[in-house]
């Protein structure tokens, strides 16, 4: 089988998916960003870049913004980037690079691996045997309000005062009750988000989570937590068990789990342990 020699074609460059350790483990035998070119490793000492060849003109500055904004152009490439990295999960540790990092020749890759070597080694050690999971937590506002109405002492006291009132007094107390119900629902949603995050942290070694501001509870399930968790391979079962617990303990909550992902959120060394190259 004769394969065109893209590596010696100056019109083609090296698209880098991620950084891994140099070894003889197989790399994914999948179509690359440019489907005709399969991924391979470019090694420098103990480190290697996972790459495949791409036509440089596809990523040329001219017209790039249009191409990037075109879903038909970016979607298959984004998926290829993801699929190549995802196919390495469980076989090797990889630091995912951001989409669109290309070198004209191998020399550039060797220089990059040498100059960032210490940092890459530290991050690879942090990511070893660990997977990224995405968790989204939602609440159903109606169920949440029902919880608050049934269990919140302030809401119950006020509700009791409304009993037997009529006319203007009932109207004013009713308004106050709705206001309190809405405030306490928001507070309960925040507690849920915090509790769920703390529970997940018991099984995660690192996390990037954002709790979502609840200006107003909408009718449909409302997103209250969006997190990425770095979890030991061996803890995957426990992590799933905690999610099930969250779903059953926090009434009105539902979750969506995605992954395992290549560790995109954990690809950079944390500031505190990065001496800055």
> Does the footprint of other proteins cover residue 134 (CB under 8 A)?
yes
> Do residues 141 and 217 make contact, with C-beta atoms less than 8 angstroms apart?
yes
Instruction: Choose the binding region for other proteins from 23-31, 91-99, 179-187, 191-199 (rule: CB under 8 A).
Output: 91-99
Work out which of 74, 158, 199, 205 binds other proteins, going by CB under 8 A. Answer: 74
DSSP state of 180: H
Work out which of 5, 220, 272, 273 binds other proteins, going by CB under 8 A. Answer: 220
Report the Cα–Cα distance between both ends of the chain, in Å, rounded.
44
Instruction: Choose the binding region for other proteins from 31-39, 75-83, 138-146, 183-191 (rule: CB under 8 A).
Output: 75-83
Tokens 């197989």 sit at which residue? 26
* Backbone angles phi and psi of 36, in degrees to 5: -70, -15
- Map the footprint of other proteins across residues 179-218, applying CB under 8 A: 218
CA 274 to the chain's CA centroid: 22
CB-count exposure of residue 19 (10 Å: 0-12, 13-18, 19+): buried
CA pair distance 181, 177, nearest whole angstrom: 6
Task: Write the interaction track for other proteins spanning residues 241-270; mark x where CB under 8 A is met and - where it is not.
Answer: ---------------xxx--x--xx-xx--
Give min distance, CB of 119 to other proteins, in A: 9
> Do residues 149 and 189 make contact, with C-beta atoms less than 8 angstroms apart?
no
Give min distance, CB of 66 to other proteins, in A: 10
Q: Judged by CB, which is closer to other proteins: 46, or 75?
A: 75
Q: Judged by CB, which is closer to other proteins: 12, or 192?
A: 12
Give min distance, CB of 116 to other proteins, in A: 7
Work out which of 100, 117, 174, 247 binds other proteins, going by CB under 8 A. Answer: 100
CA pair distance 256, 224, nearest whole angstrom: 12
Angle between helices 167-201 and 153-162 (to 10 degrees): 170
Work out which of 7, 82, 143, 254 binds other proteins, going by CB under 8 A. Answer: 82
Distances (CA, A) of 101 to 47, 51, 126, 164: 17, 10, 23, 70
Give min distance, CB of 198 to other proteins, in A: 23
> Does the footprint of other proteins cover residue 31 (CB under 8 A)?
no
> Do residues 263 and 127 make contact, with C-beta atoms less than 8 angstroms apart?
yes
Name the site residues for other proteins (rule: CB under 8 A). Answer: 13, 16, 19, 56, 59-60, 64-65, 68-69, 71, 74-75, 78-79, 81-82, 95-104, 108, 112, 116, 123, 134, 218, 220, 236-237, 240, 256-258, 261, 264-265, 267-268
């Amino acid at each position: 089988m004769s394969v065109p020699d893209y590596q010696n074609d100056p019109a083609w460059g090296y698209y880098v998916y991620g950084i891994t350790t140099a070894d003889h483990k197989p790399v994914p035998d999948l179509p690359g960003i440019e489907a005709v070119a399969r991924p391979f490793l470019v090694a420098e000492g103990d480190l290697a870049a996972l790459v495949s060849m791409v036509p440089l003109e596809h990523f040329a500055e001219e017209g790039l913004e249009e191409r990037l904004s075109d879903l038909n152009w970016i979607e298959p490439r984004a998926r290829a980037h993801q699929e190549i990295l995802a196919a390495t999960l469980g076989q090797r540790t990889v630091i995912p690079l951001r989409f669109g990092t290309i070198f004209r020749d191998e020399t550039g890759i060797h220089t990059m691996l040498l100059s960032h070597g210490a940092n890459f080694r530290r991050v690879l050690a942090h990511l070893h045997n660990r997977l990224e999971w995405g968790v989204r937590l939602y609440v159903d506002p109606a169920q949440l309000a029902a919880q608050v109405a049934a269990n919140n002492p302030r809401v119950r006291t006020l509700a009791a005062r409304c009993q037997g009132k009529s006319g203007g007094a009932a109207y004013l107390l009713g308004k106050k009750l709705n206001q309190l119900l809405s405030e306490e629902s928001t507070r309960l949603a925040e507690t849920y988000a915090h509790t769920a995050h703390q529970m997940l942290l018991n099984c995660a070694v690192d996390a990037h989570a954002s709790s979502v501001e609840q200006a107003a509870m909408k009718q449909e399930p409302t997103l209250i937590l969006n997190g990425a968790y770095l979890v030991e391979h061996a803890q995957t079962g426990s992590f799933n068990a905690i999610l099930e617990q969250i779903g059953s303990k926090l009434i009105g909550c539902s979750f969506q789990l995605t992954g395992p992902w290549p560790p995109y959120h954990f690809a950079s060394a944390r500031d505190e342990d990065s001496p800055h190259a």
